[in-house]
């Protein structure tokens, strides 16, 4: 297991939690999960979007 993989496993909860909080703040109007991920992708956050997409149901 690489150091990056170990770090991601350890910090995945914090990353998902931060994404949940950020999306919750975008509530006028509310932003659906797929739209939120599309926004991240357009900002060039390709890897982040791929990883967060696996947590789509809890975002």
Identify which has the larger pLDDT, 44 or 8.
Answer: 44
From the list 39, 27, 23, 33, the residue with the least C-alpha distance to 53 is 33
| Separation between Cα atoms, residue 57 and residue 51, nearest integer Å | 13
Give me the pLDDT at residue 4, please. 56
pLDDT confidence of residue 38: 95
Cα separation of 28 and 40, whole Å? Answer: 18
Q: Is the whole model's pTM more than 0.75, yes or no?
A: no
The pLDDT confidence band at residue 42, using thresholds 50, 70 and 90, is: very high
């Amino acid at each position: 297991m690489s150091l990056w993989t170990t770090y991601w496993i350890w910090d995945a909860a914090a990353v998902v939690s931060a994404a949940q909080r950020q999306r919750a703040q975008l509530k006028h109007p509310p932003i659906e999960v797929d739209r939120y991920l599309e926004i991240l992708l357009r900002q060039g956050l390709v890897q982040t979007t791929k990883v967060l997409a696996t947590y789509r149901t809890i975002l």
